Amino acid sequence: MAYILLVDDEDDLLWVVGRSLYDDGHTVRMAHDGEEALDMAQRQRPDLIILDVAMPKMDGFELCHTLHTRSNLADVPVLFLTGRNTIEDRLRGFEEGADDYLTKPFDLRELKARIKALLRRSPNNPHLSSRSAVLRAGSLTLDLHTCQAEVAGSPVQLTPAEFDLLGYLMRHPNEVCSSERLLREVWNYTPETAEPGLVRWHVMNLRAKIEPDPRRPVHICTVPRHGYILRTDQAA
């Protein structure tokens, strides 16, 4: 079972979600604001962090960004659980490094399914295990041991979810991958929790980091009504 850090300024939510996760066998610690959560995460590295956006002292966006600047916490999966449900809020959450985003009100069963998917992910993702420590596709390079990414020799900083996605596409170059397939095979989401929009957000952010012009992608291209493809013939 996992150590989960639950961060929210609503005591009722902390109690309900924390109790349910505890009953499932997880170790759960709770924080009421971003500063307290960061201190707790630094003292004991969690396996997963679930956090709200609107909190005192340090909001969820700032906390998520700060976590990804700390080398010992940068690869900890982050799930936003929040009432902030606009497109702008979701986009900012993923830009700051979130791995998933679930809005309130929510079904506790869906939350648990998404938690299960995140906990099954990297660094134990079987799709990123290989005898080869380095993946290359055109001008893209991924080092699976150091979790470093490069585009034409220049390093780029990827979130864990972005790294997993790019690694999977590089293992399946010039192959069309549907959103449903990516949700299932990259992040282990089950059909009942699969949200195609999650792939779209991660692809958008990944393009912003690896494409010469994200509006005209040459690495990760969209195949209308079918999914995405990593084109190595155009990525050199």
Interval 85-97: pLDDT, tens? 888 888 888 888 8
What rounded mean pLDDT belongs to the chain?
Answer: 87
Task: Tell me: pLDDT of 234 over 60.
Answer: no
162: closest CA among 193, 191, 122? 122
Q: pLDDT tens digits for 190-217?
A: 776 767 788 998 999 999 999 999 999 9
Q: Name the residue among 195, 121, 132 with its Cα closest to residue 165.
A: 121
pTM higher than 0.95:
no
Mean pLDDT of all residues in 3-29? 94
Lowest mean pLDDT among 41-50, 80-89, 112-121, 122-131: 122-131
Question: Which domains are present in the chain?
Answer: 3-120 (3.40.50.2300), 126-230 (1.10.10.10)
Residue 135 makes CB contacts below 8 A (sequence gap 6+) with 141, 142, 144, 167, 170, 171
